[in-house]
Amino acid sequence: MNLPVNTQWIDIPGAGAGYLALPPAGRGPGLVLFQEIFGVNDHIRAVAEQYAADGFVVLAPDTFWREAPKVDLGYEGEDRQRALALMGRYGAGAAIDDIRAGVQALRARPELAGGRVGTIGYCMGGRLAYLAAAEAGVDAAVAYYGGGIHLQLERAARIACPIQFHYAERDDHIPPAAVQAVRDAMAGKPAEVHVYPGSMHGFNCWARASYHAPSAALAHGRALSFLAQHLWA
């Protein structure tokens, strides 16, 4: 059954393109969705549609637009190697420019209701969601297993919006010490940190071998409640 949402690719001024998904009502609070390293692929487009069906105006920016516009990669083999190479060449300065452009583009959409914009991201996109909280003036942020956040905790002092983190217990890329460093840096801020027993990196993605349905369902419920609380006026 198709979800009752409308989707299209739109231009993001100065930052390539993005996949826009509109809710059944046609209007709602905004949500910038940051991709994994695999592009705005089938899974990320489906996640955009999922949150649009939940009532949000969702924009998933094409992060690698400079080098590989609208790249759509799988999770293994040559696709994975290409994704890692693209991520390796994606600098922090370009990322912050793109984050701000995506947030600004969504704030300008006529479908935005109430004026609030949040962000959510997965893997690399989780780190971008964290950067959006620090650098782009979003109203709420959700970061799923964002690799490298613990290496940029000097930016935590600039985060004033509510932020929610989701981590896998058995993540080969993000050790427990990194999760604890995030907890420590966010102490005293409106932050939540959740760790999912038995899960691995990428647990939310049903197209990956590491998909863990119980953790994905619990995390989605928490994220949805969090975003509804902070983005609906």
Where exactly are the structural domains of the chain?
A: 6-231
Residue 13 phi, psi (nearest 5)? -50, 120
At 126, list the tokens.
């989780």
Q: Which amino acid is at 161?
A: C
For the cut 90, the answer to whether the pLDDT of residue 39 exceeds it is yes
Residue 54 confidence (pLDDT) above 50: yes
Burial category of 152 from C-beta neighbours within 10 Å (exposed 0-12, middle 13-18, buried 19 and up): middle
Catalytic residue numbers, as ranges: 123, 171, 201
Which listed CATH number (3.20.20.140, 3.40.50.1820, 3.40.50.620, 1.10.10.60) goes with 6-231? 3.40.50.1820
- Rounded CA gap, 140 and 105, in Å? 17
199 Cβ neighbours under 8 A, 6+ residues apart: 168, 169, 170, 171, 210, 212, 215
The per-residue pLDDT for range 56-102, each reduced to its tens digit, is: 999 999 999 999 999 999 999 999 999 999 999 999 899 999 999 99
Dist. CA 217–CA 195, nearest whole Å: 13
Q: How confident is the model at residue 105 (pLDDT cuts 50, 70, 90)?
A: very high
Residue 233 has pLDDT above 80, yes or no: no
Helical (H) or strand (E) element with 183:
helix 176-186
pLDDT-derived band at 23, boundaries 50, 70, 90: very high
On average, the pLDDT of the chain sits at 96
Judge whether residue 208 has pLDDT over 50: yes
pLDDT tens digits along 130-148: 999 999 999 999 999 999 9
Q: Check pLDDT > 90 for residue 1.
A: no
Residue 3 pLDDT > 90, yes or no? no
